[in-house]
C-alpha cells in the first residue's frame, strides 16, 4: 500500500484530534469534531483550511504571458496589474477540462499558478509538453517548499491582520481576485490573495512550509477556527463552485459545467481546446437543484450520480449535499438543454422519484441565501 502524502500541518491536525481521511492520496482532516459548526464558523465569523496539498507552480521567462495566452481558456490579457488573479480551465485538444486553476500575474516574465492536488503531476506534465512543443522557453518550477492556508469568513481578513500586522498594510486596499506579496513577516515572505473556495471573503496565504505551523497557531490565537474538508465541500457547493473530478473532468467541456464565463471566445486568440469548443458548443445545461420537502421534512439527500428526470430527457447530479445554511438538500446537475430555473424535475433516490426545483446558482453568497 502506498503511504499517504502529508502536508506540513499534519501533526497540528492530529494534535487537534482531527478525523483524518485519504483525500486523493493525501492524509487530510475531514473535520475536527463538528463539520456543521465549522461550516457555520466560516459563514458567520472566520475559519481556516489547510490546503497545502494543492501545488504552487512558478512560471518564469520572457514569453510567460504568450505561453498562458495559448495554454488557458480564459484570457490572461486581462491581467495588467501586478498581483491580479484569474480563474481558468486548462483544456485538452478535445475541449475537456484537465484542471481548473488560479493564475497570478506578477510581471510579464513571472506568473504563479495554484493547481489541484490530484491533478498536479498531470498539469505540470501538460504545461511542460506545451512549453517544449511550442518552444516558449519557460522555466516551470513546482514549489513544494510552500504551504497554503485559506482563511475564510466575514471576519477573516481582520483576524489575519491581527495575527500578521504587516499583511494589513499590504492588503487593506486589495480588491477581490488580487494578491499582494508581503516580505519579511515573522512567518517569512508571504503571498496573500483575496481569493477563496467558500463564497465568503478572506485570504489564501502562500507561506514557506517551514513556517506554516507557526502561522496556523497565530491564527488560532486570534479565534480563527480550524476547518476540514467536510465543511469546505458544503461551503463550496452552497457557493456554486465546481469540484474537479466531480463536476467536470477531461471528458466534460467547461461549457457543459457552468463555466462558460471562464472561457474567452470573444477575442481571436488561439488556445488549446478552442476549436473543439466552437465546434461542439453547449450540449447540456448545468443547474442547481433543491429537493422539495414532504410534510415539512427532507425526503432524502441529493448525492452525486443520482439520476434526474426532466421534460427534455435524463440528466445526472454531479455534486450534492445537505446545506447547513439553507437547511435544504441541494445539488448541481448536468441536464438536457431546455431545463430552466423554476422547473420541476424528479431525482431518483433509492428507487423513488422525488420532486426537486431547478434554481440558478449559487445558492448562498456572503452568508446570504440567494434562492427561496
Span 98-115, mean pLDDT?
Answer: 98
Find the angle CA(216)-CA(84)-CA(90) to the nearest 5 degrees: 90
Q: What is the DSSP string of 52-87?
A: TTSEEEEEESTTHHHHHHHHBSS-GGG--STTBEEE
Q: Which CATH class is domain 283-372?
A: mainly beta
Q: How many CA atoms lie within 13 A of 246 on its CB side?
A: 20
Round the CA-based radius of gyration of the chain to a whole number and report it. Answer: 21
Q: Which CATH class is domain 1-281?
A: alpha beta
Q: Does position 103 have pLDDT exceeding 70, yes or no? A: yes
The chain-wide mean pLDDT, for the chain, equals 97
Q: What was the pLDDT predicted at 295? A: 80
pLDDT above 70 as % of the chain: 99
Cell of 353: 422519484
Q: What was the pLDDT predicted at 297? A: 83
Q: How far apart are CA 197 and CA 220, in angstroms?
A: 20
Q: How far is CA 24 from CA 2, 6, 194, 260, 371, in A?
A: 12, 11, 26, 27, 32
At a CB cut-off of 8 Å and minimum separation 6, what does 97 contact?
89, 90, 91, 244, 248, 249, 250, 252, 253, 254, 257, 259
Q: Does position 266 have pLDDT exceeding 80, yes or no? A: yes
Residues found in the chain: 372
Sign for the pseudo-dihedral over CA of 322, 328, 330, 335: positive
Q: How far apart are CA 255 and CA 358, in angstroms?
A: 19
Q: What is the dihedral of CA 30, 188, 181, 201, to 10 degrees?
A: 30
pLDDT above 90 as % of the chain: 97
Q: Does position 34 have pLDDT exceeding 80, yes or no? A: yes
Nearest Cα residue to 284 out of 320, 319, 248: 248
Q: What was the pLDDT predicted at 1? A: 65
Q: What was the pLDDT predicted at 299? A: 83
Q: How confident is the model at residue 127 (pLDDT cuts 50, 70, 90)?
A: very high
Q: How far is CA 9 from CA 13, 28, 29, 223, in A?
A: 6, 9, 10, 18
Lowest mean per-residue pLDDT among 58-67, 212-221, 241-250, 291-300: 291-300
Tell me the per-residue pLDDT of 163-181, one tens digit each, with 9 for 90 and over.
999 999 999 999 999 999 9
Q: How far apart are CA 277 and CA 151, in angstroms?
A: 35
Q: Are residues 363 and 369 in contact, defined by beta-carbon separation less than 8 angstroms? A: yes
Span 215-230, mean pLDDT?
Answer: 98
Span 78-96, mean pLDDT?
Answer: 98
Q: What was the pLDDT predicted at 2? A: 81
Q: How far apart are CA 91 and CA 98, in angstroms?
A: 5
Cell of 194: 483575496
Cell of 159: 483576524
Q: Where are the domains of the chain?
A: 1-281, 283-372
Q: What was the pLDDT predicted at 146? A: 98
Q: How confident is the model at residue 304 (pLDDT cuts 50, 70, 90)?
A: very high
Q: What was the pLDDT predicted at 294? A: 85
Q: What was the pLDDT predicted at 343? A: 98
Q: What was the pLDDT predicted at 298? A: 79
Global pTM reads 0.97
Helix (H, G, I), strand (E, B) or coil at 167: helix
Amino acid at each position: 500500500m502506498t503511504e499517504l502524502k502529508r502536508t506540513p500541518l499534519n501533526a497540528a491536525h492530529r494534535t487537534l484530534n482531527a478525523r483524518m481521511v485519504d483525500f486523493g492520496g493525501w492524509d487530510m482532516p475531514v473535520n475536527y469534531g463538528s463539520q456543521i459548526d465549522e461550516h457555520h464558523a466560516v459563514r458567520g465569523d472566520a475559519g481556516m483550511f489547510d490546503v497545502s496539498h494543492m501545488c504552487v507552480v512558478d512560471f518564469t521567462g520572457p514569453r510567460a504571458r504568450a505561453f498562458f495566452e495559448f495554454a488557458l481558456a480564459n484570457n490572461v490579457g486581462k491581467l495588467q496589474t501586478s498581483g491580479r488573479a484569474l480563474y481558468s480551465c486548462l483544456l485538452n485538444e478535445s475541449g475537456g477540462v484537465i484542471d481548473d486553476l488560479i493564475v497570478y500575474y506578477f510581471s510579464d516574465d513571472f506568473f504563479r499558478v495554484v493547481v489541484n492536488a490530484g491533478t498536479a503531476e498531470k498539469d505540470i506534465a501538460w504545461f511542460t509538453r506545451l512549453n517544449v512543443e511550442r518552444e516558449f522557453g519557460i522555466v516551470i518550477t513546482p514549489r513544494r517548499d510552500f504551504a497554503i492556508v485559506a482563511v475564510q469568513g466575514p471576519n477573516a481578513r481582520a483576524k489575519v491582520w491581527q495575527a500578521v500586522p504587516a499583511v494589513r498594510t499590504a492588503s487593506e486596499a486589495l480588491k477581490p481576485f488580487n494578491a499582494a506579496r508581503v516580505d519579511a513577516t515573522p512567518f517569512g515572505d508571504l503571498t496573500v490573495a483575496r481569493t477563496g473556495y467558500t463564497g465568503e471573503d478572506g485570504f489564501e496565504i502562500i507561506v514557506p512550509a517551514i513556517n506554516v505551523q507557526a502561522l496556523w497557531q497565530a491564527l488560532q490565537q486570534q479565534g480563527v477556527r480550524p476547518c476540514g474538508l467536510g465543511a469546505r465541500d458544503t461551503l463550496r457547493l452552497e457557493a456554486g463552485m465546481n469540484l474537479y473530478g466531480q463536476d467536470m473532468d477531461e471528458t466534460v467541456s467547461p461549457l457543459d459545467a457552468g463555466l462558460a464565463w471562464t472561457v474567452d471566445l470573444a477575442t481571436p486568440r488561439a488556445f488549446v481546446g478552442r476549436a473543439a469548443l466552437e465546434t461542439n458548443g453547449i450540449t447540456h445545461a448545468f443547474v442547481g437543484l433543491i429537493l422539495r420537502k414532504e410534510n415539512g421534512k427532507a425526503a432524502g439527500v441529493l448525492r452525486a450520480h443520482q439520476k434526474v428526470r426532466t421534460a427534455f430527457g435524463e440528466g445526472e447530479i454531479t455534486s450534492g449535499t445537505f446545506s447547513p445554511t439553507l437547511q435544504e438538500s441541494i445539488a448541481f446537475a448536468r441536464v438536457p438543454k431546455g431545463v430552466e430555473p423554476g422547473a420541476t424535475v424528479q431525482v431518483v433516490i433509492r428507487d423513488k422519484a422525488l420532486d426537486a426545483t431547478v434554481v440558478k446558482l449559487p445558492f448562498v453568497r456572503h452568508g446570504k441565501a440567494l434562492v427561496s
